[in-house]
Structure 1
Amino acid sequence: MPWNLSGTYLESCNCDAVCPCTTSGLTAPADHERCQVTFAFHVDGGDVDGVDVSGRSVVVFVDAPRVMADGGWQVALYVDAAADDGQAEALGRVFSGQAGGPMAALVPLVGELLGVERVPIDYRDDGRRHAVRVADAIDIEIEDQVAPQFGADGPVMGLTGVFHPVSSTLTVARSTRATGTGVYGRSWDFTGGNGHSAPFAWSA
């Protein structure tokens, strides 16, 4: 049965801005020995096999080799605790790639599923700032960047024509806060590192 989702997304990783993975179609080495990235999605509107999933959030954490195209990704999936059983199952199928769509193209790169958890997720958009908190595990805020010459109210810098599962057009952003604690044995502080945001519209 067809499905569709639309909403907003943010990304934070341990690369410096701008991430080589994003600008090379996953073929250039990341800035550090491993690529650790969090993708957070808020669904403004969506239907999966007749299940309304509007207003729910999903977060995907990836720990990948320095060249992401090499595969062997370790992935954790966090589903909004506010979702009922039907919504959680539907979102799990979409964001694991089982239901087709953009995430399905990444499935061959995944070597290990670390786990799937239903946890409180607080996702916020506030102008150029975008934030997500995943229980006590992940806390991220990114800010879309504007060239200083244009002032604080100038146009946000962006990337276009990129190979990316969320969108071919992304903002250039930096994290003002990006921490993880006990994420399947991983803890980090990537504050000041690379970020992106974008609206997304998926269907299959």
Structure 2
Amino acid sequence: MAWKIEGTYFENCNCDMVCPCSTSGLSAPADHDRCHVVLAFHVGSGRVDDVDVSGLTIAVVGDAPQLMSEGGWRMGLFVDAAASPEQAEGLGAVFSGQRGGPMEGLAPLIGEMLGMESARIEYTDDGRSHRVKIGDAIDIAVEDFVSPLDSTGKGVRVSGIGFPADTLAAGTATRSRVNAFGLTWDNEGKNAFSAPFAWSG
């Protein structure tokens, strides 16, 4: 059976601005010794096999070496507590790379799975501002960046990325607190990306 999901996503990492990992296809080093990142995905509509997963949110928490292509990532996964067991199983398989698609390419880089937890996830996206709150573990808000020199007001876009979408809006975190899976950090003021996404496998 096949799957298809689409929605919106955003991420926040501890690079200073416009993460070199993403813009180089993981071939350039991050700004700091370790990459600390959270990626939040809200599925606007989608199915995994015959299970409807629309309206649910997933968050990936990662800790990786400075040069991410070296592998040895540590990764944990939060699944929306609103998901039924069948929905959680389907989304967990997709976002761990077991069902192919974009996450399958990252799976060989993961050295340690820190766990998959069910949690109440609050996700908001108004097109330029994005926020995810996961219980007491994660509270991140980011804003897409609009250059004061940009008369169009469209904001900074980076194209040709490939994952999780081809074109990402660059931004910065206005709030970023993480205490999950034994990982703790605060990436306020650091890099953010956001975009619509559409995956299938």
Q: Scaled by the length of structure 1, what TM-score is found?
A: 0.96
1:115 aligns with 2:140: no
1:177 aligns with 2:175: yes
User: Aligned partners of 2:183, 2:63: CA distance in 1, in Å?
Assistant: 10
Query: Following TM superposition, by how much is the alpha carbon of 1:46 offset from its aligned partner in structure 2, in angstroms?
Result: 0.2
Identity value in percent: 54
Which string of whole-angstrom CA distances, capped at 9 and with x for unpartnered residues, describes residues 97-120 of structure 1? 111111011111000000000001
Which letter maps to 2:73?
A: W
Q: How do residues 17-32 of structure 1 correspond to structure 2 at under 5 angstroms?
A: 17-32=17-32
Which string of whole-angstrom CA distances, capped at 9 and with x for unpartnered residues, describes residues 162-197 of structure 1? 242x1011001100111112x122221110000000
User: Aligned partners of 1:48, 1:163: CA distance in 2, in Å?
Assistant: 22
User: Aligned partners of 2:113, 2:80: CA distance in 1, in Å?
Assistant: 18
1:201 aligns with 2:198: yes
Counterpart of 1:54 in structure 2 is 54
Counterpart of 1:101 in structure 2 is 101
Query: Following TM superposition, by how much is the alpha carbon of 1:91 offset from its aligned partner in structure 2, in angstroms?
Result: 0.5
User: Aligned partners of 1:172, 1:105: CA distance in 2, in Å?
Assistant: 23
Which letter maps to 2:199?
A: W
Counterpart of 1:132 in structure 2 is 132
Counterpart of 1:187 in structure 2 is 184
User: Aligned partners of 2:30, 2:165: CA distance in 1, in Å?
Assistant: 20
Equivalent pairs, count = 201
Which string of whole-angstrom CA distances, capped at 9 and with x for unpartnered residues, describes residues 9-34 of structure 1? 00000111011101111011111110
Which letter maps to 1:184?
A: F
Which letter maps to 1:193?
A: K
User: Aligned partners of 2:119, 2:22: CA distance in 1, in Å?
Assistant: 28
**Per the alignment, in what secondary structure is the counterpart of residue 172 of structure 1?**
strand
**Per the alignment, in what secondary structure is the counterpart of residue 87 of structure 2?**
helix
User: Aligned partners of 1:81, 1:199: CA distance in 2, in Å?
Assistant: 23
User: Aligned partners of 2:149, 2:33: CA distance in 1, in Å?
Assistant: 34
1:149 aligns with 2:146: no
User: Aligned partners of 1:172, 1:44: CA distance in 2, in Å?
Assistant: 22
**Per the alignment, in what secondary structure is the counterpart of residue 43 of structure 1?**
strand
Query: Following TM superposition, by how much is the alpha carbon of 1:149 offset from its aligned partner in structure 2, in angstroms?
Result: 2.5
Counterpart of 1:34 in structure 2 is 34
**Per the alignment, in what secondary structure is the counterpart of residue 22 of structure 1?**
helix
**Per the alignment, in what secondary structure is the counterpart of residue 108 of structure 1?**
helix
**Per the alignment, in what secondary structure is the counterpart of residue 100 of structure 1?**
coil
Gaps of at least 5 residues in structure 2 are none
Which string of whole-angstrom CA distances, capped at 9 and with x for unpartnered residues, describes residues 134-173 of structure 1? 111011111001111236x711111001242x10110011
Counterpart of 2:166 in structure 1 is 168
Q: Which runs of 4+ in 1 moved over 6 A?
A: none
Query: Following TM superposition, by how much is the alpha carbon of 1:75 offset from its aligned partner in structure 2, in angstroms?
Result: 0.4
User: Aligned partners of 1:64, 1:127: CA distance in 2, in Å?
Assistant: 29
Gaps of at least 5 residues in structure 1 are none
